[in-house]
């Protein structure tokens, strides 16, 4: 599949995940076969105000061969300014978040709130498309409330407005991250547009991957299925991968190039806990991990205990 001039080899993508898809984690997922990982979402408004914290979220490494940023906001002019911000200059593709269900986003009329205002969503996409030659893509959900399915209409609007691809997470905003993925809607979305469609939601193994592929999607995006297991991108391609500790060390090594240990230890505790899953005594190990305040000690602890 291609997005603009960018060619994907494996049609597998690591999802944007705030607080999770950091530069090191994206790199290990890419090593295992993800074509790219989308950076954590950034606020268009914070970006145009040059927030350092926001710009830090856009840290990339040599592993990000296809660099994809994701912005959120609901003001077309602010979104267009963000697209032109120098911090996004190095990016190849810019994705617009129209699916986030978090109250602090939705209550500002951003993220999945835009599913309820297709006219405004269209203005936003058009405003972004107008100011750049880079592919603009959109990530959306099935609809806002359960029973209000806007996906096909919304997807057609994205295509009309100039989006070069869309990602559909097969859930409503009301569902959040649980309940059934709506494969039927993903299939209908794929049939309704001519731009590439990336399917997303609950892909964690070969069976769920197969289910998603049956929708006819051009590529598959994986989020939680990669927690503690970047090797999922190798597993799904029937490729060999290395043991988890190898990726733990790489993840940290790459993050250490850009961030201080103090920040990494704080931000990566969730990753350490996920990496610990699947051990004989995961619960005990997790308690020990939570007590650590030094990265090297944490790595040693994982090295001694990880079996997979």
Ligand X SMILES: Cc1cc2nc3c(=O)[nH]c(=O)nc-3n(C[C@H](O)[C@H](O)[C@H](O)COP(=O)(O)O)c2cc1C
Q: Is residue 202 involved in binding ligand X (CB under 6 A)?
A: yes
Under rule CB under 6 A, residue 229 binds ligand X: no
Identify the residue among 1, 11, 18, 156 touching ligand X (CB under 6 A).
Answer: 18
Please tell me whether residue 12 binds ligand X under the rule CB under 6 A. no
Residues 6+ apart with CB under 8 A from 158: 121, 125, 138, 140, 166, 193, 195
Residue 99 interacts with ligand X (CB under 6 A)?
Answer: yes
Tokens of 221: 């995006």
Q: How many residues bind ligand X (CB under 6 A)?
A: 23
Position among 45, 67, 85, 139 found at the interface with ligand X (CB under 6 A): 139
Q: For residues 26 and 238, give the distance between their C-alpha atoms in angstroms, rounded to a whole number.
A: 20
**First-last CA distance in the chain:** 32
Is 200 a binding residue for ligand X by CB under 6 A? The answer is: yes
Binding-residue pattern over the window 78 to 97 for ligand X, x denoting contact by CB under 6 A: -------------------x
Q: How many other C-beta atoms are found inside a 10 Å radius of the C-beta of residue 298?
A: 23
Smallest distance from the beta carbon of 139 to ligand X, in angstroms? 5
Tokens of 141: 């959900």
Cβ proximity of 39 and 57 under 8 Å: yes
The answer to whether 111 touches 97, Cβ cutoff 8 Å, is yes
Report the residue from 54, 70, 231, 265 that binds ligand X according to the rule CB under 6 A: 70
Identify which range of 115-123, 147-155, 216-224, 242-250 contacts ligand X by CB under 6 A.
216-224
Q: Is-catalytic flag, 158?
A: no
> How many Å separate Cα 147 from the centre of its chain?
26
C-alpha closest to that of 69 among 58, 53, 56: 58
Alpha-carbon span 212 to 71, nearest angstrom = 26
Q: What interhelical angle do 295-305 and 244-258 show, nearest 10?
A: 170
Strand partners, 274: none
List beta partners, residue 129.
none
- Site for ligand X (CB under 6 A): which residue of 40, 64, 122, 182? 40
Smallest gap from Cβ 296 to ligand X, in A, equals 26
143 in contact with ligand X (CB under 6 A):
no
The sign of the torsion formed by the CA atoms of 62, 249, 95, 258 equals negative
Q: How far from 308 is each of 94, 208, 279, 285, 289, CA to CA, in Å?
A: 36, 22, 8, 14, 17
Residues 50-69 that bind ligand X (CB under 6 A): none
The residue annotated as part of the active site, out of 29, 32, 39, 100, is 100
Q: Per rule CB under 6 A, is residue 222 in the interface with ligand X?
A: yes
Residue 15 interacting with ligand X (CB under 6 A): yes
The DSSP code for 129 is H
Least separation, in Å, of the C-beta of 232 and ligand X?
Answer: 10
Least Cβ distance, residue 72 to ligand X (angstroms)? 8
Tell me which of 24, 37, 73, 225 binds ligand X, using CB under 6 A.
225
Using CB under 6 A as the binding rule, whether residue 100 contacts ligand X is answered as yes
Looking at 8, 12, 17, 151, which residue binds ligand X (CB under 6 A)? 17
Window contacting ligand X (CB under 6 A); options: 10-18, 83-91, 128-136, 284-292: 10-18
Residues recognised as catalytic: 100
User: Which residues contribute to the site for ligand X (CB under 6 A)?
Assistant: 15-20, 40-41, 70, 97, 99-100, 139, 169, 177, 200-203, 222-225
């Amino acid at each position: 599949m291609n997005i603009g001039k960018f060619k994907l080899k494996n049609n597998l993508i690591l999802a944007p995940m705030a607080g999770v898809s950091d530069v090191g984690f994206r790199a290990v997922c890419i090593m295992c076969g993800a074509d790219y990982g989308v950076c954590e979402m950034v606020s268009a408004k914070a970006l145009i105000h040059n927030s350092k914290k926001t710009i830090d979220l856009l840290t990339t490494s040599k592993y990000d061969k296809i660099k994809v940023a994701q912005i959120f906001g609901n003001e077309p002019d602010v979104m267009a300014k963000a697209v032109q911000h120098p911090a996004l200059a190095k990016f190849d593709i810019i994705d617009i978040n129209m699916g986030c269900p978090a109250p602090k986003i939705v209550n500002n009329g951003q993220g999945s709130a835009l599913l309820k205002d297709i006219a405004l969503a269209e203005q936003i996409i058009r405003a972004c498309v107008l100011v750049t030659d880079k592919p603009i893509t959109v990530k959306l959900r099935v609809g806002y409330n359960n029973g209000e399915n806007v996906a096909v209409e919304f997807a057609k609007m994205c295509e009309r407005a100039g989006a070069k691809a869309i990602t559909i997470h097969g859930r409503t905003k009301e569902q959040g991250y649980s309940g059934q993925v709506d494969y039927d809607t993903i299939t209908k979305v794929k049939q309704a547009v001519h731009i590439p469609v990336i399917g997303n939601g609950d892909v964690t193994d070969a069976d769920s991957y197969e289910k998603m592929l049956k929708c006819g999607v051009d590529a598959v995006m994986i989020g939680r299925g990669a927690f503690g297991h970047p090797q999922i991108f190798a597993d799904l391609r029937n490729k060999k991968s290395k043991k988890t500790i190898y990726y733990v060390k790489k993840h940290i090594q790459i993050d250490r190039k850009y961030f201080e240990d103090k920040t990494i230890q704080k931000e990566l505790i969730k990753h350490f806990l996920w990496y610990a899953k699947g051990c004989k005594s995961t619960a005990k190990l997790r308690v020990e991990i939570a007590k650590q305040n030094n990265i090297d000690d944490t790595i040693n602890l994982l090295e001694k205990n990880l079996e997979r």
